[in-house]
Amino acid sequence: MNAKTKVAIFGGGCFWCTEAIFQNLRGVLNARPGYAGGELAEPTYEQVSSGKTGHAEVTRIEFDPSIISYDDLLTVFFATHDPTSLNRQGNDIGTQYRSIVLYFDDEQKAAAEAYIKKLNTDSDKPLVTEVKPLTNFYEAENYHRNYYLSHQDEPYCRFVIAPKLEHLRERFKNLVGGA
């Protein structure tokens, strides 16, 4: 990360989906799947998948704020997963799939909390998205990186990720374009 870039970390279900979504946005320089929000140091996918580590599958997003704002990232994040569903996204069930924003500073915390408050006033179902300070981020194993780009013909990619990307392209034409 250089002085002109910032980082956001979001978890909204399977990190393959979240990574693919943010990789498609102009101004996103890097999106990396990983684990955060728990206590276990250096967790593995198998450990996180057990639901016993406290970690969530998350994506670390390095972005250029002169091209895309943190508020834009929040808008996309909340529009591309179900923030009212506790510990699940579709068929992915467990605390590792919870909706979570991990913030780096008071500015990110305030922005996330304000966004959630606004969404809660407009929604008949309360949001369950956690907002926590980031303590540690652990990159996922190499085989998780660029998963959608490397496995587009696999069923999970075709039936879960591809429709989310189509929704993203339709709803956020002004933000889509890649780094």
> Is-contact 26 178, C-beta < 8 A?
yes
- Residue 114's φ and ψ, nearest 5 degrees, are -65, -40
- Residue 54: how many other CB atoms lie within 10 Å: 15
pLDDT of 86 > 60? The answer is yes
| Helices vs strands, H then E, count in the chain | 7, 8
pLDDT digits (tens, 9 = 90+) for 87-123: 999 999 999 999 999 999 999 999 999 999 999 998 8
pLDDT at 177 over 90: no
Catalytic hit among 7, 8, 9, 14 = 14
pLDDT, tens only, 16-42? 999 999 999 999 999 999 999 999 999
Domains plus CATH for the chain? 6-171 (3.30.1060.10)
Six-digit token string for 56: 């969530």
Percentage above 90 pLDDT, the chain: 94
Residue 17 is a catalytic residue? no
Half-sphere exposure of residue 147: CA atoms within 13 angstroms, side-chain side: 26
> 154 forms bridges with which residues in the sheet?
none
Going by C-alpha positions, the residue among 166, 159, 134, 173 that lies closest to residue 55 is: 134
Q: How would residue 2 be classed by pLDDT, with cut points 50, 70 and 90?
A: low
Does the pTM of the predicted model rise above 0.85? yes
